[in-house]
Amino acid sequence: MSSHHTALPFADLGIHPRVIAALKERGIDLPFPIQAATLPDSLAGRDVLGRGRTGSGKTVAFALPMVSALAKSGRRRAPHTPRALVLVPTRELAIQVAETVTPLAAALELRTMTIFGGVGQNPQVAALRRGIDIVIATPGRLEDLIGQGHVRLGDIEVTVLDEADHMADLGFLPAVKRLLDATPRDGQRLLFSATLDNAIDQLVKRYLHNPVTHSVDSAASPVPAMTHHLFNVSRDNKPAVVRELVAGQGRTLAFTRTKHAAKKLAKQLTASGIPAVDLHGNLSQAARQRNLAAFSEGHSRVLVATDIAARGIHVDDVTLVVHVDPPAEHKAYLHRSGRTARAGAEGVVVTVSTPEERGDTRTLMRQAGIKPTAVDVSPGHPAIGDLTGPVAELVTPAPVVAQPNNGNGNGGRSQRGRGGSGQPRQQGGAGRSSGGAGRASGGGARGRRGGSQSSSTESYRTETPRSGGSQGARSQSSRGGSRQGGSQGQARSGGIAAFSAGRRGR
């Protein structure tokens, strides 16, 4: 197992000059530790098991050997039969991975696409028909399209599992195994994960051939540039303390336990003059990307999210993470907290704990290997100002451009303002309209040929994997979804705007 590696320049590793130029355009000149560790083996065609935190540069670590292998093999792309497959647990991650992989692949004239639920399948089917080299997919929609005969995995040369531990957490392992079984046994397989537990071990033993394991950090170790604080508050004082915490100048991510709490807090913050948006399972894909764009472009300083959305958020310069509700277990704490202090930047993490939560919070911190600075606080306490700096001048959120209503109620209605507060009515409106889309096509039989499955987990609408024939939010990905984002291209460009290029995909 490797842990310390000298970072050789990309040219010395045999990376194509055009790909190196594409990396430089993203501000990447030297390999990150996970890349320096894995690339010599993965570029040589070995199966690799890599462990590293989110934000450690895993995407480039698997993108480079993947595009290099496809360029070397020289096979021609053909309709319906992609040559490389990247499996990811969520749509947000699919968009983010595509943002990193696409320019590197394009440098070698390779074609990339994303496949995920919550948007219409027709643009995805059309792209597959034209021929694709690299597919970045969530398991649900990919199995769906395989069942309908639109895609075959028999020509896959390289398979990547990204965030394999999260795939296991979401209950995707059965689908992942079926998909891996459909790929050639002699293909190269790369598995990346923040943790290597028993569930991941099953995949490694069954699908990787003599893998080389590289671990560049301990999954439980806190990021050195991240400071952890525990604010003990009374239940009555909690709302005011949270408000003061998120009112500082920086970009803040606040995590709640439930979708309802996320929606409610975002509304309350905006009404009090702190522009905030929410991200959770009741939002349509269009609303989710709109809210992420508002956050990453600075129109909203606060993003309030649930755990299920934590892995899909990859935005630089998040200076503060607030656990408004402490998470249920330590892995969730580390993943939530990992949204700050990315790529060497500093970050602050604050857990707000009421007396009833104190015991559980103590246990959580111990399991996560965190020793926070604990303070009893009430509104106006100096410890709050010490972390957040001066309170930002309160500004009215930038107006959100109304989207045309394409038939599913997800356009104009969700954008109407709330009186004079300037609060875009994204949260409630989008949630209602996507629910309407779900009801409209709830029968779902049309989209479920060939044993195809639910996209509910990817859409975060229901946070459970499929069992048997349940279809969850099938409506979004078959009928309702086709009118939601307009096209997969739109959805992807919206996502790229949301994550705004630069160095986010490292």
pLDDT in tens, 428-455: 333 333 333 333 333 333 333 333 333 3
Lowest mean pLDDT among 36-40, 226-230, 364-368, 389-393: 389-393
Q: What count of Cα atoms within 13 Å lies in the side-chain half-sphere of residue 46?
A: 15
Residue 236, pLDDT score? 95
**Which of 162, 189, 219 is the C-terminal boundary of a domain?**
219
Distance in angstroms (rounded) separating the CA atoms of residues 103 and 209: 29
Structural domain harbouring 244: 226-404+413-429
Helix/strand/coil percent split, the chain, to 5: 45, 15, 40
Strand partners, 352: 231
Convert the pLDDT of each residue in 276-322 to its tens digit: 999 987 888 888 889 988 888 888 989 999 876 666 566 777 888 99
Mean pLDDT for all residues in the chain: 76
* Amino acid at position 130, single letter: R
Sheet with strand 158-161: strands edge to edge: 112-115, 134-137, 84-87, 158-161, 188-193, 48-51, 212-215
Note whether 96 and 499 are within 8 A (CB): yes
Mean pLDDT of the 44-54 span: 87
Strands 158-161 and 188-193: what pairing? parallel
Domain shared by 175 and 256, yes or no: no
Residue 225, pLDDT score? 65
Lowest mean pLDDT among 60-74, 251-265, 394-408: 394-408
Note whether 141 and 121 are within 8 A (CB): yes
Domain shared by 242 and 124, yes or no: no
Reported confidence tier of residue 48, pLDDT bands at 50, 70, 90: very high
Domain shared by 145 and 280, yes or no: no
**Which of 180, 195, 219 is the C-terminal boundary of a domain?**
219
The domain that contains 132 carries what CATH number?
A: 3.40.50.300
Residue 218, pLDDT score? 46
Mean pLDDT of the 363-368 span: 86
Domain shared by 52 and 158, yes or no: yes
Convert the pLDDT of each residue in 325-344 to its tens digit: 998 888 788 878 876 655 54
Choice between 261 and 286, residue whose per-residue pLDDT is larger: 261
Domain shared by 334 and 241, yes or no: yes
**pLDDT greater than 60 at residue 191:** yes
Choice between 489 and 272, residue whose per-residue pLDDT is larger: 272
Which pTM value belongs to this model? 0.54
Mean pLDDT of the 42-47 span: 96
Using DSSP, state whether 191 is helix, strand or coil: strand
Domain shared by 213 and 170, yes or no: yes
Mean pLDDT of the 153-175 span: 91
Instruction: Report H helices in 238-284.
Output: 238-246, 259-271
Choice between 129 and 215, residue whose per-residue pLDDT is larger: 129
The helix-helix angle for 173-181 and 139-147 (nearest 10°) equals: 50
Domain shared by 234 and 215, yes or no: no
How many distinct structural domains can be found in the chain? 2
Domain shared by 210 and 241, yes or no: no
**pLDDT greater than 90 at residue 499:** no
Domain shared by 103 and 139, yes or no: yes
Distance in angstroms (rounded) separating the CA atoms of residues 13 and 40: 7
Specify the length of the chain in residues: 506
Domain shared by 299 and 371, yes or no: yes
Most confident among 24-28, 103-107, 371-375, 455-459 (mean pLDDT)? 103-107
Choice between 104 and 505, residue whose per-residue pLDDT is larger: 104
Residue 462, pLDDT score? 29
Lowest mean pLDDT among 104-113, 302-311, 370-379, 487-496: 487-496
Strands 302-306 and 347-353: what pairing? unpaired
- Does residue 17 lie in a domain region? yes
Domain shared by 184 and 243, yes or no: no
Distance in angstroms (rounded) separating the CA atoms of residues 71 and 420: 56
Domain shared by 24 and 162, yes or no: yes
Distance in angstroms (rounded) separating the CA atoms of residues 427 and 259: 10
Residue 345, pLDDT score? 56
Mean pLDDT of the 152-180 span: 92
Reported confidence tier of residue 418, pLDDT bands at 50, 70, 90: very low
